[in-house]
């Protein structure tokens, strides 16, 4: 269904660069967008960070971070305390800015982390602001009620603040936030910090509708189950690295190996190396996957065949050696 806005009798409008939506809306945090709109609306007026902080309910340091973010992306340029449109549609060097989206070097990674950190730096909403948000949105109100049932108690301020941040600051719809919270409780990770980080991941991956959230939760649950399966089989009592989690997901969900097969590969690894090595185990399982070996019996059959071939080769060699020895004796 298509939508359009009829400006009608609106008293005033202001321009927003198209690149803000076309290129940066996916990576810009909620506060960055709010700050840009606020300063565009007040263009030509001197607006300090304190006033902006009060009007937007955002910390002053976040106001500054947002302006720096838009300057880094080539939307704004600064001269002292004054910001103005950057030269050109993107920046002074449009090709360089476009290339930034495909950078894989340390500088690009560091910049991405800075953007993420700024987006996760949640404003500290006051109790009255939280109450106004809950009263003004039935979906957010329902989200709070469900969370109170899940926690089994009234929500603490940090938990309330996180829920408002997820819906207002990071920008997940309340119904999607509810699915995220339910998933976090299902895996036993219910801290406000974890929920906010998870919400940021969902937003970055564009998991912002009920259908996409349902699909993503199924994927996350499958990966979590694979991780727990491998941890149990290997006797791990520590957190797994992301690479180890990725291996586990491939073994269980992509290649479809049973716990018995994964344990068999682990045992072979231990016997050969004396310690656990995920890459080594992966090579074993990858070999079995390519050969279509899916059961311990097939492993045993393959080992028996290899041993028989080896014995046969050795017996033939022995026979030839004896013939040669007899021939030399007869000379």
Q: Which residue has the tokens 């906010």?
A: 196
pLDDT of residue 280: 93
Computed over its alpha carbons, how large is the radius of gyration of the chain? 30
Q: Are residues 114 and 22 in the same domain?
A: yes
Q: Are residues 139 and 109 in the same domain?
A: no
> For residue 108, is pLDDT > 50?
no
pTM for this predicted structure = 0.56
Is 112 part of any domain?
Answer: yes
Given 208, 234, 255, the domain boundary residue is: 208
Q: Are residues 34 and 114 in the same domain?
A: yes
Is 286 part of any domain?
Answer: yes
CB neighbours of residue 157 within 10 Å:
13
Is 6 part of any domain?
Answer: no
> For residue 104, is pLDDT > 70?
no
Is 57 part of any domain?
Answer: yes
Q: Are residues 26 and 113 in the same domain?
A: yes
3-state secondary structure 111-163: HHHHHHHHHHCCCCCCHHHHHHHHHHCHHHHHHHHHHHHHHCCCCCHHHHHHH
Of residues 27 and 113, more confidence is placed in 27
Mean pLDDT along residues 296-309: 63
- pLDDT tens-place string over residues 125-180: 888 989 999 999 999 999 999 999 999 999 999 999 999 999 988 889 999 999 99
List, as own/partner pairs, every contact residues 244-248 make where C-beta atoms lie below 8 angstroms and the sequence separation is at least 24, other chains included.
244/278, 247/278, 247/279, 247/281, 247/282, 248/223
Is 35 part of any domain?
Answer: yes
> For residue 34, is pLDDT > 70?
yes
Q: Are residues 182 and 259 in the same domain?
A: no
Residues 38 and 103: beta-carbon distance below 8 Å = no
The count of domains in the chain is: 4
Q: Are residues 303 and 329 in the same domain?
A: yes
Question: Both tokens of residue 201?
Answer: 């991941």
Q: Are residues 139 and 204 in the same domain?
A: yes
Q: Look up the domain containing 43 and give its range.
A: 18-96+105-120
Is 43 part of any domain?
Answer: yes
Tell me the C-alpha to C-alpha distance, in Å, between residue 204 and each of 53, 98, 162, 223: 25, 19, 17, 19
- In this prediction, residue 81 has a pLDDT band, given cuts at 50, 70 and 90, of low
């Amino acid at each position: 269904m298509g939508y359009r806005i009829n400006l009608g009798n609106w008293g005033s409008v202001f321009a927003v660069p198209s690149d803000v939506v076309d290129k940066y809306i996916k990576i810009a945090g909620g506060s960055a967008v709010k700050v840009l709109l606020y300063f565009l609306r007040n263009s030509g007026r001197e607006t300090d960070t304190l006033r902006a902080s009060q009007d937007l309910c955002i910390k002053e340091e976040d106001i500054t971070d947002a302006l720096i973010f838009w300057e880094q992306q080539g939307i704004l340029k600064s001269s002292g305390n004054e910001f103005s449109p950057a030269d050109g549609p993107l920046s002074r060097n449009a090709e360089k800015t476009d290339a930034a989206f495909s950078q894989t070097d340390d500088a690009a990674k560091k910049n991405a982390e800075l953007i993420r950190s700024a987006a996760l730096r949640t404003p500290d909403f006051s109790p009255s602001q939280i109450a106004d948000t809950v009263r003004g949105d039935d979906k957010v109100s329902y989200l709070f009620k469900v969370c109170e049932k899940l926690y089994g108690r009234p929500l603490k301020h940090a938990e309330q603040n996180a829920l408002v941040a997820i819906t207002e600051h990071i920008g997940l719809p309340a119904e999607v936030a509810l699915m995220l919270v339910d998933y976090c409780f299902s895996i036993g990770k219910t801290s406000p910090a974890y929920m906010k980080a998870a919400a940021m991941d969902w937003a970055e991956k564009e998991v912002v509708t009920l259908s996409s959230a349902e699909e993503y939760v199924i994927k996350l649950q499958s990966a979590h189950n694979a991780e727990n399966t491998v941890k149990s089989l290997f006797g791990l009592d520590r957190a797994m690295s992301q690479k180890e989690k990725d291996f586990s997901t491939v073994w269980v969900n992509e290649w479809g190996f049973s716990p018995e097969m994964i344990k068999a590969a682990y045992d072979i690894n231990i016997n050969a190396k004396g310690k656990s090595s995920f890459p080594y185990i992966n090579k074993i399982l990858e070999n079995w996957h390519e050969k279509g070996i899916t059961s311990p019996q097939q492993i045993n059959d393959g080992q028996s065949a290899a041993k028989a071939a080896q014995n046969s080769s050795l017996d033939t060699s022995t026979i030839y050696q004896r013939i040669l020895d007899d021939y030399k004796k007869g000379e």
